C-alpha cells in the first residue's frame, strides 16, 4: 500500500511536467495506419486547422466516412518545416489536419458542420489555451466547390445570430502540406492519458460546450 500511494503521488507530481500547455511532446512509438482502401474516384481530400492538431485529428477520426487523417503544417514559407520551427510562429505555417474521406459515405458539407462544432471561431491567432498564428482556425479549400461551400457555411453561421462577435476563421487555398513528425500522428491513440490531460487542462471541451451547447 505504501508503494502504491508513493507511485500515485509521483504521477500527480510529474503529469503537469510531462504535458505542457501547448500541443507538444518529445517522442512516441509509431502506430501504423489502418485506413481502408477505397477506389480513388471515391476518395476526396479536405484540410482543416483548428488549433492543436492532436485534437482536430481525434475529432475527425470519429466521423463516419473519414478514411484517414494526417497531422501536419500548411500555409507557410519554409520548406519541410519542423515542429520547433512552426511553434515559433515565424514560418507562417498552421497546425492542420489533412483528411481523406469516402464521398459515398460523407461529403465536404458534413465535414464543415463537424469542423465548426470543434473550434472556437471567435478568436484570432488562438484556439483555447494555444496562442499564436500557428494555432489559428482555417478552412483550406482544394477546389472551387470546397471554397463555395466553405464561404456559404461561414456566411450562414454569421447570419444565424448565434454570436455577436465576428467569425475569425479564415478560408484559404490549400498549399503545400507537410506531414508532421511521426510522434504527432494519432497522438491521442498513442498517449491517451497525456492527451486527455492536455485536452482537459487546455479547456477545449468546456469552451466548446459554452459556444455550441454540445458536450464532447
pLDDT given for residue 214 in this prediction? 84
pLDDT given for residue 2 in this prediction? 40
- What is the pTM for the complete model shown? 0.85
Position 24 in a domain: no
Position 92 in a domain: yes
Q: Exposure pattern of 20-41 as b/e (b: 16+ CB <10 Å)?
A: eebbbbeebeeeeeeeeeeeee
Position 15 in a domain: no
Position 22 in a domain: no
Q: Which residues contact 48 (CB under 8 A, 6 or more apart)?
A: 56, 60, 96, 97, 99, 111, 115, 138, 139, 140
Of 55, 42, 53, 143, whose CA–CA distance to 101 is shortest?
Answer: 42
Position 81 in a domain: yes
The CATH number of whichever domain residue 127 belongs to comes to 3.30.1060.10
- Does the annotation mark 52 as catalytic? yes
pLDDT given for residue 215 in this prediction? 80
Number of domains in the chain: 1
Q: Which of 52, 55, 129, 202 is catalytic?
A: 52
Tell me which residue range forms the domain holding 100. 37-212
Position 74 in a domain: yes
Average pLDDT by consecutive 10-residue portion of the chain (216 residues)? 38 41 48 56 96 98 97 97 97 98 97 98 98 98 98 98 97 98 98 97 97 87
Position 116 in a domain: yes
Q: How far is CA 100 from CA 23, 83, 185, 210, in A?
A: 23, 23, 15, 30
Position 180 in a domain: yes
Amino acid at each position: 500500500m505504501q508503494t502504491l500511494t508513493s507511485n500515485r503521488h509521483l504521477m500527480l507530481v510529474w503529469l503537469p511536467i510531462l504535458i505542457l500547455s501547448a500541443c507538444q511532446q518529445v517522442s512516441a512509438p509509431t502506430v501504423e495506419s489502418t485506413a481502408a482502401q477505397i477506389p480513388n474516384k471515391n476518395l476526396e481530400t479536405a484540410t482543416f486547422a483548428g488549433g492543436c492538431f492532436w485534437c482536430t485529428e481525434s475529432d475527425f477520426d470519429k466521423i463516419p466516412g473519414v478514411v484517414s487523417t494526417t497531422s501536419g503544417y500548411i500555409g507557410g514559407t519554409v520548406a519541410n518545416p519542423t515542429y520547433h520551427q512552426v511553434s515559433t510562429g515565424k514560418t507562417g505555417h498552421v497546425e492542420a489536419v489533412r483528411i481523406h474521406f469516402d464521398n459515398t459515405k460523407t461529403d465536404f458539407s458534413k465535414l464543415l458542420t463537424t469542423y465548426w462544432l470543434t473550434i472556437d471561431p471567435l478568436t484570432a491567432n488562438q484556439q483555447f489555451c494555444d496562442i499564436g498564428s500557428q494555432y489559428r482556425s482555417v478552412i483550406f479549400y482544394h477546389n472551387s466547390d470546397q471554397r463555395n461551400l466553405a464561404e456559404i457555411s461561414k456566411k450562414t453561421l454569421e447570419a444565424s445570430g448565434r454570436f455577436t462577435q465576428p467569425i475569425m476563421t479564415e478560408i484559404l487555398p490549400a498549399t503545400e502540406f507537410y506531414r508532421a513528425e511521426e510522434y504527432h500522428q494519432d497522438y491521442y491513440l498513442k498517449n491517451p492519458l497525456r492527451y486527455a490531460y492536455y485536452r482537459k487542462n487546455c479547456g477545449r471541451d468546456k469552451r466548446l460546450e459554452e459556444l455550441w451547447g454540445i458536450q464532447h
